Structure 1
Amino acid sequence: MSSSSQRVTQHRLKGLLLKRFGMAAATYALIALVCAVALLNDLLPPPAGTGLLFGGLVALSQLGFFILFRTGKNLRFRDPSLTEAQILVALVWLTLLLAAFDQGRGSLLVIYPLIMLFGVFQLQPRVFVRCALLAFFGFAGLNLFEAYSLRLADPAVAILQISVLAVVLVWLSLFASYVQALRRRMRQRRFALQAHQDTLRGMMRQLEDLAATDELTGLFNRRHFLRLASRALEALEGGRHHGLALIDLDHFKRINDVHGHAAGDRVLQTFATVARACLRDGDILARYGGEEFVLLLPNTDCEQFAACCERLRDAFSRAEPMGVKVDDLSLSVGMTLLTLHDDLDEALHRADQALYQAKRSGRNRCTAAWEAVDA
């Protein structure tokens, strides 16, 4: 992955984690609102020095998390979301808050599962259970401490509250385990689907290659060449030219008759190999039919194009097909230039006429039809 992609991914992750932190901060604000309601109804003692210190510590802890997320230092941790840390801190603050309540304590038990829900989709089952145990033993320890201090108002109610909390936490732990297992299955299926999609894309590329190439020579076929040439002609700018040539292997029928069709196939393959070595990466060569080939050279002129075709003709005349002894290999070329607003069929006709002239003039030569091209 490139550095720019990594920065984009980290920016998106940072924004997502800040939104999750915003949800946690909003939950703290709602709990503060509940405390205000309890304070107005005399269910919570007025905030003295200890209460103000408690509120300040809560705000300071959330400020610390905000700084971590804002500066990106949370990315140094194994879990950049810091979900477990946020849940543990929230459970500690909630347990300390419940110590200040007496009659309204049971109503605030619902905040325990509310805090735990933040980790259902993020925490591993064993980590979730660890947080659930902290919540349970924290609340149970609070009641045991009050019972030991003889400050527990109603032990029966306390036992009922502890039991309900235990049931809820066990259910949430099982649910979190189920959710994580479901996420693993979905992730595995997504990976499998991605692998199938990659396979299908590879098969599609193979089918496209088969549909676009000549099986014997590995060059483009006629249909694909016409498609590429049409695109190149549409993209042609004024004042520039594309070179277009029709190439015919001389006396190819005689090669088949004397040496057999296997030898003829080897000669066609030899031409394809020689042509690839002589042409640039952006040049387009295709088998036009039988022993005839078509060549398109983007952005060239008369001299460059003629030199390229002559180089190809000379290289083929010196080629030696592997496993076959064929003397006097040669080819004939008919050349023209494509110009802006030119018609591809007309240009092919010009090249064909030039090829016909090369054949009539004795073969093994390159003949041009420049006169039909605008200066």
Structure 2
Amino acid sequence: MNQRLTNAIQRLLLKRFALAAGTYALALLLLWLAFFTGHYQESVTGMAIGSALVVLSQAALFAVFSSGRNLRFSDPSLTEVQILLGLGWQTWLIAHLDEARGAFLVFYPLILLFGLFHLSRTAFVRCALLVFFSFSAITLWEGYHFQLPDPTLALLQVCVLFVVLAWLVLYARYVQMSRQRMRQRRFALQAHQDTLRGMMRQLEGLVATDELTGLFNRRHFLRLASRELNAMEADVVHGLALIDLDHFKRINDVHGHAAGDQVLQAFAGVATACLRDGDILARYGGEEFVVLLPDCDPERLTACCERLRIAFMDVELVGLEIAHLSLSAGMTLLALGDDLDDALHRADQALYRAKRDGRNRCAAAWENVDA
């Protein structure tokens, strides 16, 4: 589990424990009030010892939470342990109360509410049965020994407790079923969101990719190239080349469009193999391709285009006999502040010059400027 997530969960559990400890403090305050008003029959020493034991039990739980040992258990919140401990203290308190017993019965459902969202259905019913049988046993024991001041009131208290516990069990079942339905809906929603994200990625891929060659299309190339230009540094130069497959129309006319598609795919495979990671290659339109080489210089751009030209001349097409495959390339450089459209125009002029001079060659825009 991620450490940050673990720490967040642990902080939440500590806050929940602090709420329980605050409830204990309130109960102790009311207990001492009952003692001083004469409704709790116990000596001062017994009161002090009992209060100290309650504080020590909470201190022990705090040590478990603060040290992180609670994370070793299947339920890191230790909900059932805390509820059973609270029910034990409450039953001990009830056993020593007389007329004020009914007033302190409210702490039984209060303790059970602490586990409303965290206990399983079986565990919640088990704790509710423990409450009912514990209180009933105390009442029966005192009734058997004729220690009940008002047996009818004691019977009424047992009946009221039974109704409250039954209502709590039914309500807990309703809450847990509602949480389960919400969890299932959340999982279903998450699955739908994951499906939509996958479909969006596929759509983005379709929008950015040329279906025939698998390369980027013109629109996506312009987006990527603009981003590269915007991120350029002052001392960095990029290389740009427009590449046109020679006599492509004649290939389509003589051998058919399927053969032309195979030639385009062959060039895409050769060019992809010749370029490095980070170079951007795209089908610019028809039989024309464009390549952007980040952090480049004239020598490397020329060497790259020549390597592409020679590799394409050596391509052998399966099932086709097309002789003299070749390409022409127009090259230019981009520096900081250059406009992409202007650079593409320079590369296009260089490409036109390469085709005019006989095709199957690479022409550089800077050579034309120097002339």
TM superposition score category, shorter chain reference: over 0.9
Equivalent residue number for residue 272 of structure 1: 268
Do the aligned residues in 2 keep the contact of 1:124 with 1:177 (CA within 8 Å)?
Answer: no
Q: Counterparts of 1:16 and 1:342 in 2: how far apart (Å)?
A: 55
Give the alignment's TM-score, normalised by structure 1.
0.95
Counterpart amino acid of residue 348 in structure 1: L
Residue 323 (1) aligns with residue 311 (2): no
Equivalent residue number for residue 37 of structure 2: 41
Counterpart amino acid of residue 127 in structure 2: C
Deviation at 1:322, TM superposition (A): 2.6
Do the aligned residues in 1 keep the contact of 2:42 with 2:96 (CA within 8 Å)?
Answer: no
Do the aligned residues in 2 keep the contact of 1:266 with 1:324 (CA within 8 Å)?
Answer: no
Residue 121 (1) aligns with residue 87 (2): no
Give the alignment's TM-score, normalised by structure 2.
0.96
Gaps of 5+ in 1: none
Residue 242 (1) aligns with residue 238 (2): yes
Structure 1 stretch 316-325 or stretch 222-231: which is displaced more? Answer: 316-325
Residue-by-residue CA offset, 1:11-35 (whole Å, 9 max, x unaligned): 0010000000010011111112212
Do the aligned residues in 2 keep the contact of 1:74 with 1:80 (CA within 8 Å)?
Answer: yes
Look up the SS of the partner of 2:210 in the other structure.
Answer: coil
Equivalent residue number for residue 141 of structure 2: 145
Inter-CA distance 104–369: structure 2 relative to 1 (3 Å threshold): same
Aligned residue among 288, 307, 310 for 1:292: 288
Equivalent residue number for residue 92 of structure 1: 88
Gaps of 5+ in 2: none
1:179-190 matches, cutoff 5 A: 179-190=175-186
Aligned residue among 226, 231, 244 for 1:230: 226
Look up the SS of the partner of 2:106 in the other structure.
Answer: helix
Residue-by-residue CA offset, 1:117-146 (whole Å, 9 max, x unaligned): 011111110000011111111111111222
Q: Counterparts of 2:292 and 2:41 in 1: how far apart (Å)?
A: 90
Residue-by-residue CA offset, 1:145-195 (whole Å, 9 max, x unaligned): 222333222111111111111111111111111111111111111111111
Aligned residue among 183, 197, 200 for 1:204: 200
Do the aligned residues in 1 keep the contact of 2:28 with 2:51 (CA within 8 Å)?
Answer: no
Residue 70 (1) aligns with residue 69 (2): no
Residue 195 (1) aligns with residue 191 (2): yes
Deviation at 1:56, TM superposition (A): 1.5
Percent of aligned positions with the same letter in both sequences?
64
Inter-CA distance 372–180: structure 2 relative to 1 (3 Å threshold): farther
Aligned residue among 7, 12, 23 for 2:3: 7
Aligned residue among 58, 61, 77 for 2:57: 61
Residue 365 (1) aligns with residue 329 (2): no
Aligned residue among 329, 337, 343 for 1:341: 337
Q: Counterparts of 2:320 and 2:118 in 1: how far apart (Å)?
A: 69
Q: Counterparts of 1:148 and 1:206 in 2: how far apart (Å)?
A: 78
Inter-CA distance 245–43: structure 2 relative to 1 (3 Å threshold): same
Q: Counterparts of 2:89 and 2:289 in 1: how far apart (Å)?
A: 81
RMSD: 1.5
Do the aligned residues in 2 keep the contact of 1:247 with 1:334 (CA within 8 Å)?
Answer: yes
Q: Counterparts of 1:165 and 1:302 in 2: how far apart (Å)?
A: 91
Equivalent residue number for residue 313 of structure 1: 309
Deviation at 1:50, TM superposition (A): 2.4
Deviation at 1:371, TM superposition (A): 5.8
Q: Counterparts of 2:368 and 2:86 in 1: how far apart (Å)?
A: 84
How many residues matched?
370
Q: Counterparts of 2:173 and 2:19 in 1: how far apart (Å)?
A: 23
Counterpart amino acid of residue 76 in structure 1: R
Inter-CA distance 48–40: structure 2 relative to 1 (3 Å threshold): closer
Equivalent residue number for residue 250 of structure 2: 254
Structure 1 stretch 54-63 or stretch 39-48: which is displaced more? Answer: 39-48
Look up the SS of the partner of 1:119 in the other structure.
Answer: coil
